[in-house]
Amino acid sequence: MPDLTPLLAFRWSPRAFDPAAMLTGDEATSLLEAARWAPSAGNTQPWRFAFGHREDDTWKRILVSLPADDQRWARHASALVVVAHTGGDPERAAYDLGQAVAHLSVQATALGLHVHQLTRFDRAGLATELDLPVGIRPTVVVAVGRLGDPFALPEDLRDRETGLRQRRPLADLLLA
Amino acid sequence: MPDLTPLLAFRWSPRAFDPAAMLTGDEATSLLEAARWAPSAGNTQPWRFAFGHREDDTWKRILVSLPADDQRWARHASALVVVAHTGGDPERAAYDLGQAVAHLSVQATALGLHVHQLTRFDRAGLATELDLPVGIRPTVVVAVGRLGDPFALPEDLRDRETGLRQRRPLADLLLA
């Protein structure tokens, strides 16, 4: 790892979250503010959010939309956040949502929190459960929390938790 | 602005870049490393990069692909970077590229640099100019540099440079 700012260098996507930790209202707001101030093409700001704190109604509705496999660990997250887009060009909106969630994640790291994004979930079911307006399309679920004990994870998840992060070498990514 | 980490709070997209500033090799590498370590769905890492330092061949090829209107200010950027995707689901790839460019931008801020993203450019012409492999699709051009004198900008750009950043209120973004 080269000299990256610690807010990027220490970011990773855990499954071991502390089941006792809750987010304060200020923490939740600052995560959403980070996303809100992300750049977007033509300042369209195509992002919308549903924020659930553990055990509240929104959180429960988001949790049950996840695959059973992921519910095993996501149920310990302090917050589950749906990030949805408002339509328009889907590729352009997806790009801007990626930026907004990246900003949210950087802010989470600054608060000592960790983020794990989930792209596999029941989009139609969640839209119904949350009574989302027509045209609002859930794109990603973001689990946020404090790091927990990896040995409290089911064994198959524990092994993935302790593996090193891997990326393609930079040379393979350069076009010119 | 609430209590955001300075790396997000002080980010904005200027047009006034310092025409004398160049990036060091280490700076360029750390920007690309930041992008490389961004998260992606299933760790697909669909991002590819063409990095041009001012006045080199890659930089010139990227510059001429921009609208004349934007070339007026982008020609003072220290670097112009094409971020392209490798295909697959275009929406999913766009989301991951948004994250990678957001990470690059956070690292730029950490280095005292600024970033301005451009989504309007001649994609087909640039793919030809850079001799991109089939299936590699340029998504965004990222201008990176040090802040310059806004009074050196053409008058119409100067007015936009000094305007306040605007976003929708958070309450308008909440679904639940």
pLDDT of residue A87: 85
Instruction: Give tens-digit pLDDT for A19-31.
Output: 999 999 999 999 9
| CA A33 to chain CA mean position, Å | 15
pLDDT of residue A165: 85
Instruction: Give tens-digit pLDDT for A44-83.
Output: 999 999 999 999 999 999 999 999 999 999 999 999 999 9
Query: Where do runs of H (alpha helix) occur along chain B?
Result: 6-9, 25-36, 57-64, 68-74, 90-110, 123-129, 155-161
Residue A163: pLDDT band (50, 70, 90) is: confident
Cβ proximity of B142 and B115 under 8 Å: yes
Q: Measure CB to CB from residue A175 to each of B38, B132, B165 and give the nearest one.
A: B132
Q: List domains and CATH numbers for chain B.
A: 6-148 (3.40.109.10)
Per the prediction, chain A carries an average pLDDT of: 95
ipTM computed for the complex: 0.95
Is the pTM above the cut of 0.90? yes
> A90-110 and A25-36 are packed helices; what angle lies between their axes, rounded to 10 degrees?
140
pLDDT of residue B2: 60
Contact call for B4 and A29, based on CB within 8 A: no
Nearest CA among A55, A74, A58 for reference residue A66:
A74
Cβ proximity of A39 and A102 under 8 Å: no
Instruction: Give tens-digit pLDDT for A113-151.
Output: 999 999 999 999 999 999 999 999 999 999 999 999 999
- Cα separation of B97 and A91, whole Å? 11
Instruction: Give tens-digit pLDDT for B90-131.
Output: 999 999 999 999 999 999 999 999 999 999 999 999 999 999
Interface test with B, best of A11, A95, A130 (most B CBs within 10 A): A95
A6 chain-B contacts, CB cut-off 8 A: none
DSSP A69-90: HHHHHHTT-SEEEEEEE--SSH
Regions of chain B short of the pLDDT cut 70:
1-2
Q: Which DSSP category does B165 fall into?
A: P
